Structure formats: C-alpha cells, structure tokens
Chain A
Amino acid sequence: MILLGLLLVLLAILGTPLFAVFGALAWCLFRAAGIDTSAIMIELYRLASAPMLLPIPLFTFAGYVLAASQAPQRLVRCMQALIGWLPGGLALMALCACAFFTAFTGASGVTIVALGGFLLPVLLKERYPELFSLGLLTTCGSLGLLFPPSLPIILYGLVAHAPVDLLFLAGVIPGLMLLVLLALYSLYQASRQHVPRQRSAWSEVWEALWVAKWELALPILVLVGIYGGLVTINEAAVVTAAYSLVVTVGIHRDLHLWRDVPRLMTESMVLVGAILILLGTALGFTSYLIDAQVPMHILAAMRQHITSRAMFLLALNVFLLVVGSLMDIFSAIVVVVPLITPIAAQFGVHPLHLGIIFLTNLEIGYSHPPLGLNLFLGSLRFQRPITQLFRASLPFLAILLVALALITYIPDLSLGLVRLLGYADLPVFRH
C-alpha cells in the first residue's frame, strides 16, 4: 500500500496530471478501506452542488475577455497619464496596471503575456535599467493576487470553507503593502539611475481617464455591489462577465462576437476544467486523510519540535514557499489547504489570516527560482535566458519576503480592516 502510494507520488513528480494521481490515490485508499470506489465520485458530485463554485468559470471567462481585448492598453495609458509624471512613474504605472490586471485575470500567467510584453520596451525606452525592468515585470506577473475578485482567493475560500467576501477584505491591506514596498524600491532605482521624469498634460489625463472609464468602473462596480450588500458574490461574477462582454464587444468593439468570443469561452473553460477536475478528485483524497485523522497525526509529530505559534508560522512559510515553487497556485490550494487548516487552527491562527499568509507565499512562489512559473513565462515572453531572470528577480524577491514576514507576524494587517468594518469575531473554525 505504502509502496503504491510512493509510486503514485513519484509519478506526480515526473509530471503525471495531478488530478489522475490524486483520483487514483483516493481510489486505492477507498478500495483498501473496503468502501465502494464510487464514493470518490459522490464527493465530486457533492462539490458540484456547492454554490461557491459558480464564480470560478464566470470570473475566469471575464478575465480572458479583458486580457484579449485592448483593455490592457487603455489601462496602461490611463495609469501613465495619472501617475507617470511622478519620479519613477513608469515603474509605478507598471506595478499598478499589473496589480489591477492580475486581480481580474487570477494570476494564471495572463498578466505577463498580456501586459509584460508591451511594457518592457516602454520601460527600456525611458532608460530604466534592463535587469530592473525584467525583474519588475516578472514579479509583477502575480502582483494583485490579494485583491478582489482574484480567482485564487475564491478557490481558497471554497476549499477552506472561509467566507470569500471577508477574505477579499483581509487581502486589501497586505496587497497594498506589497504594492507600496515594490513602489518604494522602484522609486529608489529610478532616482539612482536618473531616469528622466515625464510630463502629462491635463488634457491627456482627462482623455486617458475617459477612454478607460468602462474598465475603471468595473472594480468599483464589483466592490460596491458586494460590500454595499446589493449582490452576492455569485451575482457579482455574473455581472462582471456580462459587463466585460458588453464593454469589449459592444462598446469598444475590440472583440468580435462570433470570431473571438466562442474561442475565449473554450480557452477559459480549459483552465476552469483543469482546476475543477483536480478539485473534484483531490477532494476524495483529502477527505479520506481528514477522516483518518492524518492532520492530527502530523500535528502530534509537529508538537515535539514546534511549540509556539511563531515557530509554526515560520515552518509554514518555509513549507509553503517550497510548495509554491513546485506547484502552481491552484494545485497547491486544492491539495495543501485542507490539511493545513485544522493544524493552523490548533496553533490559534485565524482562518482569514491563514488564507492571506497562504496566498502571499504562493504569490512569491510564482517568481521563486528555480521553478517559479513567472520566470518561465517571462523567459518565453521577453526572450531572455532564464538565468538572467533569476538574477533580475532577486531584489524583488527579497522585498516580497520582507513583506511576507510582516504579513505573517502582524495579523492585524490582514484582520484590521475586517474588524474595522464590523465583522469582528467570526466562528473561528468549522470542525
């Protein structure tokens, strides 16, 4: 049995699709326990009737639509007019545009492909150093993951049984902090290299804002809708998908209803299918582990060495950074979260705080050498050797790690806003 398990893990490491590995693991475990194997599929079907699943296809589709349209260009123009005149303005503009974009496309690598490619020449033309520009755009590929309505947050909420609207709130301040820290570094670099400052005329500011008004209204629409209590998250997802279609197809006419939209529908559902099938099969596996009290056994073993919450959090960070650099964010959430949440609860980590720690780690894992996905995507998109991107992203990585430490050890960064808005003490844990 153990041998079989090891064989399957080996197959996973060699690159066998994870859904097949976890499904088969569950199959073997159920079989060995004398349970009918169709129980895996009952679990999968039960997942499908979770109402929180609906936003996943809709937000993903909306993200694909926005990415394929001219929305990135309009957004960049707008940001450039608004903040481009500041010292280091272009770098700031790149940071903000990437964050905005990632929040809507869900950090599936779309940001580097859609934005990185045309931001790099702009930065280089304004005499930003090459290494700095490459590092900036590579790490920015996942910046914004903590802002609503990002797909990883929704998935985390679904898997960890945490309320998604509160997770969105919890992510705002940590997300802004990452943005500000990276912005400060960009400012420092820009002033050191004497990057010339730009000017933007008032007329251009006004015009760029006007051109991008529909895209800029989208986050406001989503936030006011959800937190104003007007719509549920499911409804917000429906409205976002319909709205982005209307804006890109109807108003700006970037996309053609027959030529582009069906293609984007299938492309986005390929990603959704890959996520959902893994979610479905891994659920059978993790629920078996939880029934067999595996997290509690891990906890008992950990208690021998890890005595305090601070130590637990440190170990958690190290573990998650490794996971994050090996797996993509969706697999990591689906596979690791169910096992971590009961353990973290025992150490008194607030579920919302845990979620933000988790997602920040995985965000860093995206650009963590040697295996971070952003590095590979960047290397393809910018046509640079991957080793150069390793070097380029190092200073950014250092900053992100500092931010991670702050987020981990100051829970109020994540929980402050939630408390402030009066959602003070949630039921801490469901088990």
Chain B
Amino acid sequence: MGLLHWLDHWLASLERALVVLLLSGLLGLGLLQVIERNVLASGIFWADELLQHLVLWLGFLGASLATREQRHLSIDVLSHFLPTRWQHWLALLVNTAALVLCLLLVQAAWGLVRSEYTAGPMLTFGVPAWLAQSIIPLGFGAITLRFALRLVETLARLVRPEDGA
C-alpha cells in the first residue's frame, strides 16, 4: 500500500510536469504555425503531425490524472442517493470492474505497439511510430495502476471503517 501510494504520487508529479511542458509546446508551436501561415505565407511541414501527437499524449496524461482525481466521465446516478456504507461496496465493485476492463485495453494497446514495432513505420525525422504510440499502452497502464490503488484503498476502508472518515 505504501509503495503503491508512493508510485502514484511520483507518477502524478511526472504527469503534471509533462502536461505543462507539452501544452506549452502545443501552444508555442501552434502560434508559430499561425504566424508562419498568415504573415510569412509559408508552413512548417512537420508541425501538423507533431501537434496531433501532442494532443494524443496530452489526452492520455490527462486521462491518467483523471483516474487519480476520480474525474472520469461516468453515469453518476447511484452515488447521489446511496448511504455511505453502501457506497463503499459500490466503489469496490466499480473499481474491480474498471481494473479488469482496463487490463483488456492494456492488452489491446500492447498489441498495437508491438505490431508497429515489428512493421517499423517511421514518422518525420525518422522517429519510429511505435515510440509516438507508446503513450497508449503506458497511459492505459497508469490508469490500471490507479484503479488497483483505489481498489486497495476501498478494501482497507471496508475492513477498518473507522479510518474511512
């Protein structure tokens, strides 16, 4: 539990730093492109591809942080009406389900990156495509880790409810 917490914390700091870095880059490159196109009437040929990948990376980093902050989009009906004790049981079920389902997605994402690795397509400047796509399994992996942590926390709260408050 201590280890998971430490990992979660460390990971979140890394993700936040990356988000700030990448979003600043997105904004900077976007501005540069606007200036190039409208003032200098030229374009940066690699900009669109890089911008798209920045959005992909930002999306997964954000999604991983959303798991930590429990901000994923979900049908949030029951939690408004259930008493607290029941909510713990519900959280147990939901987190177990999410953990299992995310493992499937990790498997699918791993499959993509592995086949791209063997096929070996390249992006501009010789960046291998699998490297750019690696955020997909990494992101799903981080999300899965967060659900595992949440599950452990929920279990702990069910075993010792007095700590829950």
Contacts and interface: CB of A to CB of B under 8 A. Distances in A.
A239 B77 CA distance: 38
A408 interface: no
Interface in B51-85: 51-53, 55-56, 58-67, 69, 71-80
A382 interface: no
Given A45-B133, A276-B59, A20 B34 contact: no
Contact of A269 (B65, B73, B80): B65
A36 to B, nearest CB: 6
B136 interface: yes
B-side interface mostly: helix
B152 to A, nearest CB: 18
A237 B26 CA distance: 11
A24 B107 CA distance: 11
B131 interface: no
Interface string B32-52: 011001100000000010011
Contacts of B67: 17
A328 interface: yes
A118 B19 CA distance: 31
A41 B61 contact: no
Contact of A19 (B24, B72, B80): B72
B23 A265 contact: yes
B4 interface: no
A41 B20 contact: no
A242 B55 contact: no
A20 B143 CA distance: 10
A40 interface: yes
A326 interface: yes
Contact of B107 (A37, A50, A275): A37
A12 B53 contact: no
Interface residues of B, number: 58
Given A17-B98, A49-B52, A277-B63, A38 B31 contact: no
Contacts of B158: none
Contact of B62 (A17, A19, A271, A280): A271
Contacts of A196: none
Nearest to B28: A242
Contacts of B148: none
Given A23-B104, A273-B65, A276-B62, A17 B111 contact: no
A-side interface mostly: helix
A159 interface: no
A128 interface: no
B52 A53 contact: yes
A24 B62 contact: no
Nearest to B17: A262
A45 B77 CA distance: 31
Report, as a range, how many residues of chain A touch the other chain.
35 or more
Contact of A14 (B61, B62, B90): B90
B16 A275 contact: no
B109 interface: yes
B112 A45 contact: yes
Nearest to B64: A273
Contacts of A20: 97-98, 101-102, 105
A235 B51 contact: no
A238 interface: yes
Given A15-B74, A24-B105, A48-B56, A36 B111 contact: yes
Interface string B7-33: 000000000100110011011001101
Given A36-B111, A265-B20, A273-B58, A18 B65 contact: no
A16 B96 CA distance: 9
A16 B108 contact: no
A298 interface: no
Contact of A48 (B55, B62, B90, B112): B55
A37 B108 contact: yes
Contacts of B59: 48, 57, 272-273, 276-277, 280
Contacts of B71: 270-271, 274
A27 B30 contact: no
Interface string A108-140: 000000000000000000000000000000000
A16 B76 CA distance: 9
Contacts of A17: 67, 72-74, 98
A15 B79 contact: yes
In this complex, the member of A16, A21, A23, A54 whose beta carbon has the largest number of chain B beta carbons within 10 angstroms is A16
A16 B95 CA distance: 7
Interface of A: 8, 11-21, 23-24, 27, 36-38, 40-42, 44-45, 48-51, 53-54, 56-58, 61, 230-231, 234-235, 237-239, 241-242, 245, 262, 265-266, 269-278, 280-281, 326-328, 330-331, 371, 376
Given A13-B75, A23-B108, 10 more contacts: A16-B101, A27-B108, A48-B52, A237-B30, A242-B30, A262-B16, A265-B19, A270-B69, A273-B62, A278-B72
